[in-house]
Amino acid sequence: MLIVNKGEKVKIRVKVNGIWYERYVSPRMLLVDFIRDELGLTGTKVGCDTTTCGACTVLLNGRSVKSCTVFAVQADGAEITTIEGLSVDSKLHPIQEAFKDNFALQCGFCTPGMIMQSYFLLKENPNPTEEEVKDGLHGNICRCTGYQNIIKAVLDASRRLRA
C-alpha cells in the first residue's frame, strides 16, 4: 500500500511506446492525465472519466484499460502503449489504415480508443466474426458513425494483419 503525506509526489517509472520515463506525480493523478499532461501524448482522449466511453483506452502491460480509471502510480514499472505507439516511422499501423480506408471515423474523438481496443481485440482473436467484433468493442462509444464502418474496418484490419 502506498502511503504519502498530503501534497507529496511519488516517483514513477513507466515505459510508454518503447521509451522509459520517470516523473514525480500526485498519487491521485489519473493515467490519462499523466499520458496527456506529463508526456504530451494527446492522442489518448478524456471523454467521460467514468469508463463509459472508451476514448481513453490504452494498453497497460498488453491489456486493454480505460486510463481514466487507473492512477498513474498504479502503472509504475509498467509498459504502456498509446495510439502514438502504433505507427512506425510515420507509417500507419494496418488497423489505422483500415479505419482510414473504410471511413470508420467522423469527428475522430473516439478513434484512438476504438483503434486501441481493436488492436487488443485482434491480438486476442486474429480472425473475429462480426459478432465478436461488436462484443469486443462494446465498451467504446462512437456518437457519430453508427458503428457499421468501424466494424467493417476491424474486419478489414484482421484480414490485413493475417495476410
Q: Where are the domains of the chain?
A: 10-85, 94-162
Task: Give the rounded percent of residues in the chain with a pLDDT score beyond 70.
Answer: 96
Mean pLDDT computed over 40-45: 97
158 three-state secondary structure: helix
Structure confidence at residue 6 (pLDDT): 62
Instruction: Look at residue 63 and tell me whether its pLDDT is greater than 70.
Output: yes
94-162: which CATH number, 1.10.510.10, 1.10.150.120, 3.40.50.720, 3.50.50.60?
1.10.150.120
All cell numbers assigned to 92: 500507419
Predicted local distance difference test score (pLDDT) of residue 49: 76
Domains 10-85 and 94-162 in one fold: no
| CB neighbour class for 72 (10 Å; exposed up to 12, middle 13-18, buried from 19) | buried
Q: Looking at residue 145, what is its pLDDT?
A: 79
Task: Give the span between the Cα atoms of 82 and 74, in whole angstroms.
Answer: 17
Q: In what order do the strands lie in the sheet with 63-66?
A: 19-25, 10-16, 79-81, 57-60, 63-66
CATH superfamily of 10-85: Beta-grasp domain (3.10.20.30)
Q: What is the pTM of this model?
A: 0.93
Task: Dump pLDDT digits (tens) for 76-133.
Answer: 999 999 999 999 998 999 999 999 999 998 888 999 999 999 999 999 999 999 999 9
Q: Where residue 64 falls among pLDDT bands split at 50, 70, 90?
A: very high
Beta strands in 9-97 (DSSP E): 10-16, 19-25, 57-60, 63-66, 79-81
Q: How far apart, in whole angstroms, are the C-alpha atoms of residue 163 and residue 126?
A: 11
Q: Helix H segments across 16-110? A: 31-33, 94-101
